A and B are shown apart, each in its own frame.
Chain A
Amino acid sequence: MKTLIVSALLAAGLVVTGCQSSMSKEEFQQRTEDTGYNTVIFTDYDLNRRFKDGLTGPDNVMRLSTTGHGIERTDTGTSQVWVELRNHTDFNYMVEARTSFYSQSGRPLDARPVWRRISVPANARAVYEEKSVSTDRLQYRVEVRQAR
């Protein structure tokens, strides 16, 4: 009888462990979805993430979000991308962002993207800007992560 109970408990433990390590449908979708062009992506999922936090938890947990982003041309014909970030927490956040530029056909163009630091004060907004070196018409993809 005792052996039976121990075996059952072990099996239950294995099942629970298996369930915990598996990724929720939302998280899997967020990690693998096609991000497209002219978008801002939080590559650090701790900043902005959709997931199931247990049975009753929220579906979307965010510390930072974007309130707007766009692209415009400068006087010399290069492009300038802007992203406004909003901090929803009571803590100052130091984040890094970089912009990859693409041609209209989707070919990666321009100089190698470089991480740039931005300070987003608690419960406030900050703007990240990046200029291209190419004068072609470009698409962009901005990646945001927590600074280390």
Chain B
Amino acid sequence: MNRRHLMAGLGALMVMGGCTPSSQVDNVAGQASVYEDPSSSGRVQGVGIESQDVVAMTDEMMRDMLSNRILAARDVPPRIIIDNEYFKNESSSIINTNLLTDRLRVELNRAANGRMVFVGRHFADMVEKERELKRDGAVDGGTIRQTQATAGGDYRLGGRIASLDAMDRNSQTRSRYHQVTFEMIDLELGTIVWSGSYEMKKASQDNVLYR
């Protein structure tokens, strides 16, 4: 009887040992990455500024600027600087402000079609280096023209992202109100010739990490 019990116990141990390998290959198809529409809410949503917000706010500002007489209806197209030099993020959201200023400049440049001229001030180093090489005679003068100096701007974009956070301690629901202001400054007079703002408030229980 004892011997039979011993044999059964050993058999059970062998079976269990075979069933629990120390390592294994998960031989099933994984979750494939999917493309999502950047102008619509995606699977991962939090209370921060997301792609659909970037697209919506820059699109709205672009269309609004093109309906402004000072910026888009001059006989001589104004020279405009749009970069993030004077566009500050003072909110609790993590965002690269270049996402906003780059998209706004690119979309506006494409849509303006000559109604505005954009100065690439963020490429000033690149232009100066090439001009020096040309002036030193290291390279020829190119085929376009030579100018005394590079273009000065008439207007430059300034702006700010601000936020207000709130949290319900019982439900752990977090809400964040964003206010994003865009302003176009006259670079001689210092006046603000155009303003636009974008507001949004989001609430979420999910813990989303923005990087």
Contact = CB atoms under 8 A, between A and B. Distances in A.
Contacts of B56: 114-117
Nearest to A114: B59
Q: Which of A114, A116, A131 has the most chain B CB atoms inside 10 A of its CB?
A: A114
Interface stretch (A7-15, A36-44, A49-57, A75-83): A75-83
B40 A116 contact: no
Contacts of B122: none
23 contacts: A75-B67, A75-B73, A76-B68, A76-B73, A78-B66, A80-B67, A111-B59, A111-B62, A111-B63, A111-B107, A114-B39, A114-B55, A115-B39, A115-B40, A115-B56, A116-B56, A130-B63, A131-B64, A131-B67, A133-B62, A133-B66, A133-B111, A148-B40
Given A74-B67, A76-B69, A131-B66, 4 more contacts: A75-B67, A111-B110, A116-B59, A148-B41
B194 to A, nearest CB: 12
A131 B111 CA distance: 12
Interface string A115-143: 11100000000000011110000000000
Nearest to B42: A148
A117 B200 CA distance: 9
Main secondary structure of the interface of A (DSSP, over half): loop
Contact of A115 (B52, B68, B110): B52
B152 to A, nearest CB: 24
Contact residues on B (Cβ < 8 Å of other chain), bracket: 20 to 34
Interface of B: 39-41, 52, 55-56, 59-60, 62-64, 66-69, 72-73, 107, 110-112, 115, 200
Contacts of B64: 131
Nearest to B73: A76
B114 to A, nearest CB: 12
Contacts of B69: 75-76
A75 B64 CA distance: 11
A147 B68 CA distance: 29
Interface string A29-72: 00000000000000000000000000000000000000000000
B189 to A, nearest CB: 21
A131 B63 contact: yes
Contact of A76 (B52, B66, B200): B66
A133 B109 CA distance: 11
